[in-house]
Structure 1
Amino acid sequence: MNKKIVHDALILTAFTLVLGFLLGVVYDITKEPIAAAEKAALDEAYKVVFADAASFEADENFDAAKAAEIIGASEFSKDEITAVNKALDGSGNVLGYVINVTSHEGSQADISFSVGVQNDGTLNGYSITSISETPGLGVLVQEEPFYSQFEGKTEETYSVVKTAPAAENEIQAVTGATISSRAVTNGVNACLVYFRNALQGGN
């Protein structure tokens, strides 16, 4: 009986070691293609929100902890600034910034997207890079009828309404997806809070 237990334990250990090795090999093979795909998705999002930019450069002054402190002190503390890139023209001048944000207020899961903000605070819009909201409802926040409401605006903050907007700072929610609409809107607001406190006027 004891021999059988030892035998089974050895087989299980060997199986675990082989499985661990195979998983490590698969990870090594796939990590670079995955990273490349993620970078390509971000680069595409950057171009969507800053079409005039010739290139993008990571903001060397970005500090995730400082960003969390800034956002944590605002009413948009459920949002997280994850990265900041400078949008540069052909001569290397800064046209504005692309701010990456993750909203933790989605109805199904986090929503991650990039927001383009010009130097004077004008919004270029946003481009979603990760979303798992309800098909046919929440996912519609990545469609033109919703995201176009932000483009070219200069308000300090935006609020979600269920009917036609009566003011420039009002954003009409996707029908049946108020939570998703508010999650994205608050994410944009968080980016603007960070922009005003850390980027506007140069950093």
Structure 2
Amino acid sequence: MSKVTGLLKNDLVRLGAILFLITAIAGCCLGFVYESTKDVIADKKEEVNQRAYAKVLPDAGVLTKLEVQPDQKAVLEVYRAENGGVAMKVMGTGYGGDMEMAVGIDADGNVTGVSIISHGETPGLGAKATEADFIDQYSGKNAKETLTVVKGDAAENEISAISGATITSRGVTEGVNEALQYYTVYLKEGN
């Protein structure tokens, strides 16, 4: 009996050592792949961001990165344009989680454009937030008033919700409102 117990213990130790070795090798490989691709991934993300800024503030010229106020959680990046406008990367919360978007605001406080950078919304419903029919509603809206989401036709300071995706519509509007509020408090001339 003791000979069998000794063999079982040896097998357990051997199997444990093999499992540890396999796990260590896999971990090292994963670490190597991460280290070798993280700069490429970061560069691609920055490229996507810059394209979004160019889309929402097309006549910006050179963008100068500004420091984001420390009390801001929804405003991720802020850039001042040569033409006096501002491009911001902000966060809103949709049905599928966090959504990152770029918002352009001209020197007069009017939204020049919104571009969804990333989202986890449902295809065919919330993902419609990236389509021009929805996103173009924000262009021309002014920083003076908070935007609200409504079902049906929208008035001056309202955004018409995407049918079946009201939470997503509110999430995008939340992000745009955060950008407009940040602009009014921290960036508007005279502040």
Regarding TM over 0.5, the answer is yes
1:88, distance to aligned residue in structure 2 (A): 2.3
2:170 is matched with which residue? 182
SS at match of 2:14: helix
**2:82 — aligned with what?**
88
Secondary structure at the counterpart of residue 153 of structure 1:
coil
Distance 2:63 2:26 in 1: 41
Partner of 1:140: 128
For residues 174 and 91 of structure 2, what CA distance do their matches in structure 1 show?
10
Q: Once the 2 structures are TM-superposed, how far is the Cα of residue 2 of structure 1 from its aligned partner?
A: 1.9
Q: Distance in 2 between matches of 1:140 and 1:202?
A: 37
Equivalence for 1:97? 86
TM-score (norm 1): 0.84
The one of 66, 84, 91 aligned to 2:71? 66
Residues 130-181 of structure 1 show CA distances to partners (whole Å, capped at 9, x for unaligned) of 012111111111111111111122142111111112x210111111211111
User: What SS is found at the alignment partner of 2:64?
Assistant: strand
Counterpart residue type for residue 168 of structure 1: E
Deviation digits for residues 96-152 of structure 1 (CA, Å, limit 9, x no counterpart): 211111112x11121110111122211112111001211111111111111111112
Letter in 1 for 2:68: F
**TM-score, reference length from structure 2:** 0.89
One-letter amino acid of the structure 1 residue matched with residue 57 of structure 2: F
What letter is aligned with 2:141? K
The one of 135, 147, 151 equivalent to 1:158 is 147
| Equivalent position SS for 2:40 | helix
Q: Which residue of 2 aligns with 1:191?
A: 179
Evaluate the alpha carbon distance shift between residue 175 and residue 109 of structure 1 in structure 2; reply closer, same or farther with a 3 A threshold.
same
- Runs of at least 4 residues off by over 2 Å: none
Count of aligned residue pairs for this structure pair: 183
Give the gaps of 5 or more residues in structure 2: 1-7
RMSD over aligned Cα, in angstroms?
A: 1.5
Q: Show structure 1 runs of 5+ residues with no match.
A: 69-79, 90-94
In the aligned structure 1, how far is the partner of 2:169 from the partner of 2:59?
27
